[in-house]
Amino acid sequence: MKNRKLKNSELTRKSQTEFKASEKTPIIIILDNIRSLNNIGSVFRIADAFLIDKVYLCGITATPPHKDIQKTALGATDSVAWEYSKNTLELIQSLKTEDISILSIEQAENATELQKVVLEKGKKYAIVFGNEVKGVSQEVVSESDIVVEIPQYGTKHSLNISVSAGVVVWDLFCKLK
């Protein structure tokens, strides 16, 4: 039997109302000073795809509505809960008081490779993705419960933030489900 591509009308997707009422994956995404509006929009699409609890936009990270965010988000800014926080460090310190574990995605001494990260069912996690050039700020890395590195075997030093978000969120989603 040959495979046939499905039409959009054949895909069983939630309405925005159903999405908002759905049980969320216990993951929060924190964008720490992301400059690219397309990256921000892509992260919203990822958050929508995996029923992420919330997205925090911090520092210089732009907020919806903005046409360049919307271009890649394709409406996900309307379904996914989000909030702006000026200071990433203050945000993660606040989240830690709610027993939320902070995972920074960064190349650092003693970082844990993504495939070796063990998650506890029933616990909530906040994942911090950093600036396209500077990464997650050192003060946030220092305050994190775990620093997670995506292993890479080629010549480049990093992945695009939206690619990193897709890889990490998918991996953690699978571990939590």
Distance in angstroms between the alpha carbons of the first and the last residue of the chain: 31
pTM: 0.95
Q: What is the pLDDT of residue 1?
A: 73
Q: Which domains does the chain have, with CATH numbers?
A: 22-176 (3.40.1280.10)
Q: How confident is the model at residue 9 (pLDDT cuts 50, 70, 90)?
A: confident
- Of 64, 54, 51, 55, nearest to 18 by C-alpha is 51
The three state secondary structure string of 33-45 is: CCCCHHHHHHHHH
pLDDT one-digit tens code per residue, 104-147: 999 999 999 999 999 999 999 999 999 999 999 999 999 999 99
Q: What is the pLDDT of residue 137?
A: 96
pLDDT one-digit tens code per residue, 11-48: 989 999 999 999 999 999 999 999 999 999 999 999 99
pLDDT one-digit tens code per residue, 43-81: 999 999 999 999 999 999 999 999 999 999 999 999 999
Tokens of 59: 């520092």
Q: What is the pLDDT of residue 109?
A: 95
Residue 30 has a CB neighbour count (10 Å cut-off) of 27
